[in-house]
Amino acid sequence: MLPENPYKEAMRYIDNARATLRMAGKEDRNYKDEKYVHTACGTAYVGVLKALNILFEIKNVPKKKGRKSIEYYQEQLSNIDRKLLNYLNNAYHLLHIDGYYDGITEIKAIEAGFENAVLIINALKPYSKNGTKTKHS
């Protein structure tokens, strides 16, 4: 079932992640506290997956049982929108792998991951209007 406003629902994750990232503090070109960077990157990446799940539901992409892999998302996006696929690949590496798992703290890299996440979430804007669902396929 689609949320009232798919765009706002996915952006909640980004907003929460940004709030967490602010707690990390900055020093030179890096965030100071790696713990907050881990949490923020994980939250932002979950927002990406939330947005993609909503988009796939809107586009009537067949659902997969069980946990979805990055390959599942990549395969589905390759059939829907190659530009979104590029954004996903960037967000996956910058937020999920580099930020969440490897713990990089470079501000520009993390910001680039967030930018790619927002570009994916922006794909939900045509399906979100004034808090109500609009019909597009």
What pLDDT does residue 4 have?
A: 81
**Nearest to 26, CA basis, from 129, 137, 107:** 107
* Segments forming the whole domain that contains residue 31: 6-129
Say how far apart CA 82 and CA 123 lie, in whole Å: 12
| Residue at 49 is within a domain | yes
pLDDT digits (tens, 9 = 90+) for 7-33: 999 999 999 999 999 999 999 999 999
Residue 103 covered by a domain: yes
| Beta-strand relationship, 132-133 and 128-129 | antiparallel
| Residue 121 lies inside a defined structural domain of this protein | yes
Residue 1 lies in a domain: no
- 19 in a domain, yes or no? yes
Q: Kindly give the parts of the chain with pLDDT less than 50.
A: 130-137
pLDDT value, residue 22: 97
The CATH code of the domain that includes 24 is: 1.20.120.330
pLDDT recorded at residue 2: 79
Residue 135 domain-assigned (yes or no)? no
Q: How many domains does the chain have?
A: 1
Spatial contact of 117 and 14, defined as CB atoms under 8 Å apart: yes
Residues 6 or more apart whose CB falls under 8 angstroms from that of 133 comprise: 2, 4, 5, 6, 127
Evaluate whether residue 134 is within a structural domain.
no
| 76 domain residue, yes or no | yes
pTM of the model: 0.90
Q: How far apart are CA 24 and CA 21, in angstroms?
A: 5
pLDDT score recorded for residue 129:
67
- Strand stretches in the chain, DSSP E: 26-27, 30-31, 128-129, 132-133
